[in-house]
Amino acid sequence: MAFSPLQVLSDAKTRGEQVAVVSLYDAPTAEICCEAGVDCILVGDSMGNAMLGYDDFLSVTMEDVLRHTAAVARGVKQSRRPEVPVVGDLPFGSYVSPEQAARNGANLIRAGAHGVKLEGAGPSALAAVRTLVEMGAPIVGHLGFKPQSSLRYSSVVQGKTAGAASRLLQEARELEAAGCIALVLEAVTSEVARRITEELSIPTIGIGAGAGCVGQVLVWHDLVGLTTPRKKPFRFVKRYADSRALFSEAARSFADEVHSGAFPTEEHGWNLPETELEEWRAREDGR
């Protein structure tokens, strides 16, 4: 009998512990993060910006998320911590009707996700949450800055007025009542995120929502410094490594060595045994 690996999130809230979540998209990175002690992995639609080269938050398709969720699930299984839960993100336009949400959510679970995330608390998002919960799928909500609605915003930070703060709190209550097992709060003022975390019984995972949440999530490419320098990172990003510089150096060394003939050397290839070589030469050259 398999129980939800996502229980780690609510257990953390009960115990007053913090959880680290990373949004990532491939098997080797999943393996690295599991073995490094990350508690939960999100296969977010941020893959569009971080990895697929899109400049918007809307171009990622269900096929993209399914392919990368399956890859991440394989990486987790092959790691030394195969119990780490994976949450798959429903991309823009993939949960407009409850039927569509049910079909796409089920496919994410079949691809290896232990839970499904979707954005918003409007009527169709709430209907999608209820349908998926009724199907038995653990659902993670997403409030505050919702990248899939970014065309409607004039600023990133959400919950900056008393009215906006009350609306966010009410949306959080509605998502909990609809059956969400956790909530992502993105670019939400710290006071509002803390109040939501205190009032709800489900855990909150913050990104730019202050230290009052149960967990924190960052996008892998941001945290290791792989994100293109053409894009100004959001204020909530903390870069823990400069892998762009590291990878550039490796690529430059490879190109230089190929151009100069320094790579490959004998040790990177194979030779015919001497006797076979002689026989082959005799055969080909008629000697």
Amino acid letter for position 80: R
Rg (CA), the chain: 23
Considering the rule CB under 6 A, would residue 226 count as an interface residue with ligand KIV? no
Assigned token pair, 190? 């710290």
Considering the rule CB under 6 A, would residue 203 count as an interface residue with ligand KIV? no
Calculate ∠ Cα 49-52-55, nearest 5°: 40
The nearer residue to ligand KIV, 13 or 146, going by C-beta atoms, is 146
The nearer residue to ligand KIV, 171 or 186, going by C-beta atoms, is 186
Considering the rule CB under 6 A, would residue 184 count as an interface residue with ligand KIV? yes
279 is catalytic: no
Q: What is the number of the residue whose Cβ is closest to ligand KIV?
A: 44
Active site residue: 31, 174, 186, 198, which one?
186
- Residues 140-159 touching ligand KIV, rule: CB under 6 A, are 142
The tokens 């293109």 sit on which residue? 228
How many CB atoms within 10 Å of residue 99?
11
CB of 213 to ligand KIV, least distance (A): 11
Q: For 255, list phi and psi in degrees, rounded to 5.
A: -60, -45
Binding characters for ligand KIV, 30-49, by CB under 6 A (x = yes)? ------------x-xxx---
CB of 254 to ligand KIV, least distance (A): 31
Residues touching ligand KIV, count (CB under 6 A)? 12
DSSP secondary structure, 55-119, as one string: SSSS---HHHHHHHHHHHHHHHHHSS-TT--EEEEP-TTS-SSHHHHHHHHHHHHHTT-SEEE--
Considering the rule CB under 6 A, would residue 207 count as an interface residue with ligand KIV? yes
The nearer residue to ligand KIV, 109 or 182, going by C-beta atoms, is 182
Alpha carbons 34 and 28: distance in angstroms, whole number: 10
* Catalytically annotated residues: 186
- List residues near ligand KIV by CB under 6 A: 23, 42, 44-46, 89, 142, 184, 186, 207, 217, 219
